[in-house]
Amino acid sequence: MEEREETRKIQFTGKSSYIVSLPKQWIMDLGLKQGDQIRMIRKGSSTLELYPPKFESRTQKKEDAVIEIDIEEEASSIVRKLISLYFLGFKTINVKPKNGRLNPNQRNTVKEAVKRMLMGSEIISDSSGGITVQVLVNLLELSVDGAFKRMIHLAKSMSSDALLAVKENNLDLAQEVINTDDEVDRFGFYIIRQLKIAIQNEHMLKEMGFRNARNCLGYRLVVKNIERTGDHAAFIATDLLEFKKSIKKEILQKLQDMNDFSLSVLDEACLALFKEDYSQAEKTIEKTNEIAKFEKKVRDASKSLKDDEEIYRVRRMTENIRRISEYASDISEIVLNMNIEKALKKSA
């Protein structure tokens, strides 16, 4: 974001107050008017910071949105519309029938989507004549970093539990892994909503801890990689539910080692993101190439297999685990792009 600087005199007024005027253009750019309150913070002995009113109360005039649903509209179409409006930052979403009333399947679709996908949302009105969804979460109650760390933790837990489910032939645990994928997506949708709001408002951008709007794009790409990590864990769990039997112990141990390595480089990539560490990101990219060694060990151990079904399952699990290390590499690449300017300044 462009930084502008002006110098103004401090003036004395009344018996105990000093005033400083603000440039008219700044007031217009921020959408402020006479009577609006400005938040002031003193930091240390040499810094004063001024903040306009909270983003929610100042700029979100268009708080309500309406979705009109056709009588034959598919569930997937309804869900896409809900998610899109959630991303755009609307605080109230009204789902109404174009004609007649919502059928039971459409009502259940909306309720399930709110429950499973839209973090901080509640249904405050529900009838055949329409459903009202309200987004109750405060923009700063759950930071982007906080939501992102929770999302990473869930995706990693899914991957570990998926391998454990295969080892124990535990169908209940496999189903739990699949269910957790919805929770990962919920955090992802919430983060995307926050990023879109931050891009549209410089004050919120700084409040959320971003240096510039470009970093929001970087986080958006990282979120997609973490979502995909959860998806691949769910694929492994789905495989177990489909075939309902484990895999040869020696091969499973090789897959476990491979999975542990993939999760470790994912950890390192995300740490580089939080620390804005260009050097760490470079090292992580180099390290992800070692996944080939683990993949070879799985292939070598699989040579003794005679059952075509088991050979197929091992190949599919290997592919799912390898993808996680690739996502770690992709995240590290994003960290490089986000911090290249800072790295060049240090070396200059």
**Residue-wise pLDDT tens for the chain (348 aa)?**
445 678 888 887 777 788 888 888 888 777 788 888 887 777 556 677 777 765 444 444 457 899 999 989 999 999 999 999 998 888 899 999 998 899 999 999 999 999 999 988 999 999 989 999 998 765 556 788 888 999 999 999 999 999 999 999 999 999 999 999 999 999 999 999 888 888 877 777 777 777 777 888 899 999 999 999 999 999 999 999 999 999 999 999 999 999 999 999 999 999 999 999 999 999 999 999 999 999 999 999 999 898 999 999 999 999 999 999 999 999 999 999 998 877 776 665
Q: In which element (H, E) is residue 133 found?
A: strand 130-135
The whole model's pTM is what?
A: 0.75
CATH code, 59-135? 3.30.110.20
Give me the pLDDT at residue 235, please. 97
Cα→Cα distances 279→331, 344, 347, Å: 14, 12, 12
Give me the pLDDT at residue 100, please. 87
Give me the pLDDT at residue 59, please. 42
Q: How far apart are CA 205 and CA 197, in angstroms?
A: 8
Q: Is 261 helix (H, G, I), strand (E, B) or coil?
A: helix
Angle at the Cα of 308 from the Cα atoms of 302 and 309, rounded to 5 degrees: 100
Q: Are 59-135 and 144-347 in the same CATH fold?
A: no
Contacts of 75 (CB under 8 A, 6+ apart): 105, 106, 109
Q: How many CB atoms lie within 10 A of CB 224?
A: 15
Would you list the domain boundaries of the chain? 11-55, 59-135, 144-347
Sign of CA dihedral 187, 150, 225, 278: positive
Give me the pLDDT at residue 57, please. 43
Q: In which element (H, E) is residue 69 found?
A: strand 64-69
Give me the pLDDT at residue 111, please. 95
Rounded to the nearest 5°, which phi and psi values hold at 130? 155, 160
Q: Is 142 helix (H, G, I), strand (E, B) or coil?
A: coil
Using DSSP, how many helices (H) and how many strands (E) does the chain show? 12, 8
Instruction: Reply yes or no on domain 144-347 having CATH 1.20.58.220.
Output: yes
Q: Is 317 helix (H, G, I), strand (E, B) or coil?
A: helix
Q: Are 163 and 255 in contact (CB under 8 A)?
A: yes
* Tokens encoding 46: 């040499």
Give me the pLDDT at residue 348, please. 53
* Tokens encoding 275: 């620390």
Q: How far apart are CA 135 and CA 137, in angstroms?
A: 6
